[in-house]
Amino acid sequence: HEFDLVITNGVCVTAGDVAPYDIGIKDGRIHLLAPSGSLNRANSARIIDAEGAYVTPGGVDCHVHLEEPALFGRGSSSDTYETGTRSAIAGGCTTIVTFAPQNKVEPSLLKALANTHIKARGNSYCDYGFHIMVGNPSEQALSEMKTLVENEGVTSIKIYMTYTALQLRDDQILSVLLKARQTRMLTMIHAENGDVLNWLTDQLESQNLVAPKFHSSSRPPILETEATNRAIALSSLISNTPILIVHVSEPGATLRIRQAQTNGQPIFAETCPQYLFLTRDDLDAPGLEGAKCVCSPPPRDKASQDAIWTGLSNGTFTVLSSDHCPFNYEDAERGKKTCITVAHPAGRFREIPNGIPGVETRLPLVFSSGRLPLTKFVEVSSTGPAKLYGLYPRKGALLPGVSDADLVVWYPEARRPDIVVSNAMLHHATDYTPYEGREVANWPRYTVLRGKVVWDRDDGGVLGQKTFGQFVKRGPSLLGRIWETVDEQGEFDVAGL
Ligand code: URP
Ligand code: ZN
Ligand code: ZN
Ligand code: ZN
């Protein structure tokens, strides 16, 4: 055969345009794009007729937590690499980047990486990479960053301005940013003021305001705006080293990021479906139900949702990730219900593990919303993350001879099923979805990973295997040619010293 797989009669959507092409796939790569219908009798092992549907590059979700220990409250992840990546492909996502968490008492980042490789290897339905979550910026940890970039294909780290297990002081953040600048690491920053939210939590508790909805009160928007502003300031002190503010939820932070970008600072930003589709009212559901929407930052109000949609449209946000950070609801030892104690039989928000599942629902929710042009949808959910995290153009693109044949074939208008999201239809191992009951207008009909059909919604469901996903070594971030000034300047300035 000339091709292993052909997709005919599709309308290809990339970050650049929307146009009808047939796609010829060989040896796991996009082999050629041809005029629509021209390959419908090609010499191919298999031909899929897209029937006029949109075909997009496979989703790239660079913010996924799997098999993590208790870091965000008491619970630990309800999804393993196996169940989380199964869920990913069923939602059209072909590449994820998860976190390799560094223990606070563990000085080595390479050790954290090795431990995470062991969990993922042979257990992944989709391709995957790792960020290192730096909880202990020891001398050793900082000195290992060069090796991570140069030998391990790990070119990003995440640091935290909150969470007891992870929070760094500003001087520690500066040390990390300095090393990141020297080694071409992209630093992801969780921007919430941990000291302030702990103080507010104490205040609320002292008034016995402990229900899930007070999680939102403990983290008002200003505390995210402040931390975002501080992170941007710290980056500017390290000669504008590039940072990415993760999971931005509110207008103040969005505006501050926009201003920094306008000033030419390499400040990138991410948002997530929970800030587009959930509000703080969802935390106020009866009983402990609101715990199902407890994540940090918390969902905000309607006006904030609109500001986040606008930020996606106008380019403030480079990436739309899931922040899939799953905990079971019913699990009294590791899940949301760890917050129920003898002293607090109705639950206590301080103890609710922070995070919600969403790796499978990310693309269908946003694709179906009709609120983004399709090219923008592909840009923020696939191409943008691939560029930002050094996966492009192998991922996030349809470049013949270059890109992996990672694709989603959606349903054509005439065959669109009525889909109401329910946890029963999802493929994670988590016992709920915060999007239960929501109607979506489309869903990935086929997911193709490196030329193999790994998801066929109408015929077999998950067809891939947990041994098929490969670790992807990533290069330095490609966005904005952000590292070039490092070359030009050689030894760069710290705060103009
Ligand atoms: O609530 C959240 N977002 N949990 C996941 C951890 C994180 O900070 O991304
Ligand atoms: Zn050929
Ligand atoms: Zn975070
Ligand atoms: Zn996260």
pLDDT of residue 75: 80
What percent of the chain shows pLDDT beyond 70? 96
Looking at the DSSP bridge assignments, the partners of residue 34 are 22
pLDDT of residue 441: 96
Q: What is the amino acid identity at position 427?
A: H
With a 6 Å cutoff on the Cβ, whether 358 touches ligand 1 is: no
Res. 494: pLDDT tops 80: no
Phi and psi based region of residue 44 (left: phi greater than 0; alpha: psi -120 to 50; beta: remaining): beta
pLDDT of residue 330: 97
With a 6 Å cutoff on the Cβ, whether 326 touches ligand 1 is: no
| Longest Cα separation, the chain | 72
Q: Which of 373, 371, 257 is nearest to 317 (CA)?
A: 257
Question: Which residues make up the environment of ion ligand 4, defined by Cβ < 5 Å?
Answer: 323, 325
Ligand 1 centroid–CA 99 distance in Å is 11
The average pLDDT across 258-279 equals 97
Ligand 4 centroid–CA 297 distance in Å is 10
With a 6 Å cutoff on the Cβ, whether 335 touches ligand 1 is: no
Question: Which residues make up the environment of ion ligand 3, defined by Cβ < 5 Å?
Answer: 190
Please provide residue 267's backbone torsions phi and psi, each rounded to the nearest 5 degrees: -105, 120
- For the CA of 71, the closest atom of ligand 1 is 6
With a 6 Å cutoff on the Cβ, whether 295 touches ligand 1 is: yes
| Torsion sign, CA atoms 427, 113, 224, 231 | negative
Res. 391: pLDDT tops 80: yes
Q: How far is CA 360 from CA 39, 95, 235, in A?
A: 31, 12, 33
481, with CB counted inside 10 A (0-12, 13-18, 19+), is exposed
Ligand 3 centroid–CA 384 distance in Å is 19
Task: Output the DSSP codes for 320-372.
Answer: E---B----SS-TTTSGGGG--SS-TT--GGGSPP-B--TTTHHHHHHHH--S
- For the CA of 325, the closest atom of ligand 1 is 5
The average pLDDT across 447-467 equals 98
With a 6 Å cutoff on the Cβ, whether 102 touches ligand 1 is: no
User: In degrees, to the nearest 5, what angle opens at C-alpha 407 toward C-alphas 77 and 9?
Assistant: 150
Residue of the CA atom closest to atom 2 of ligand 1: 355
Please provide residue 150's backbone torsions phi and psi, each rounded to the nearest 5 degrees: -80, -30
Q: From CA 45, how far away is CA 308, in angstroms rounded?
A: 44
Task: Among 65, 247, 350, say which to mutate for ligand 1: greatest number of ligand atoms within 8 Å of CB.
Answer: 247
pLDDT of residue 77: 95
The average pLDDT across 88-111 equals 95
Ligand 3 centroid–CA 277 distance in Å is 18
Task: Among 323, 356, 362, say which to mutate for ligand 1: greatest number of ligand atoms within 8 Å of CB.
Answer: 323
Question: How confident is the model over 407-445, as pLDDT tens digits?
Answer: 999 999 999 998 999 999 999 999 999 999 999 999 999
DSSP 167: B
H or E segment to which residue 6 belongs: strand 5-13
Contact 468, 449 (CB under 8 A): yes
Contact 57, 406 (CB under 8 A): yes
Average pLDDT, the chain: 95
With a 6 Å cutoff on the Cβ, whether 323 touches ligand 1 is: yes
DSSP E strand boundaries for 27-114: 29-35, 47-49, 54-57, 59-64, 93-101
pLDDT of residue 482: 65
pLDDT of residue 346: 87
pLDDT of residue 103: 80
pLDDT of residue 69: 85
Token pair 């305001």: residue: 209
Question: How confident is the model over 128-186, as pLDDT tens digits?
Answer: 999 999 999 999 999 999 999 999 999 999 999 999 889 999 999 999 999 999 999 99
Ligand 1 centroid–CA 275 distance in Å is 13
Task: Among 274, 325, 351, say which to mutate for ligand 1: greatest number of ligand atoms within 8 Å of CB.
Answer: 325
Contact 90, 426 (CB under 8 A): yes
39, with CB counted inside 10 A (0-12, 13-18, 19+), is buried
DSSP 305: H
Task: Among 162, 296, 351, say which to mutate for ligand 1: greatest number of ligand atoms within 8 Å of CB.
Answer: 296
With a 6 Å cutoff on the Cβ, whether 336 touches ligand 1 is: no
Ligand 4 centroid–CA 283 distance in Å is 19
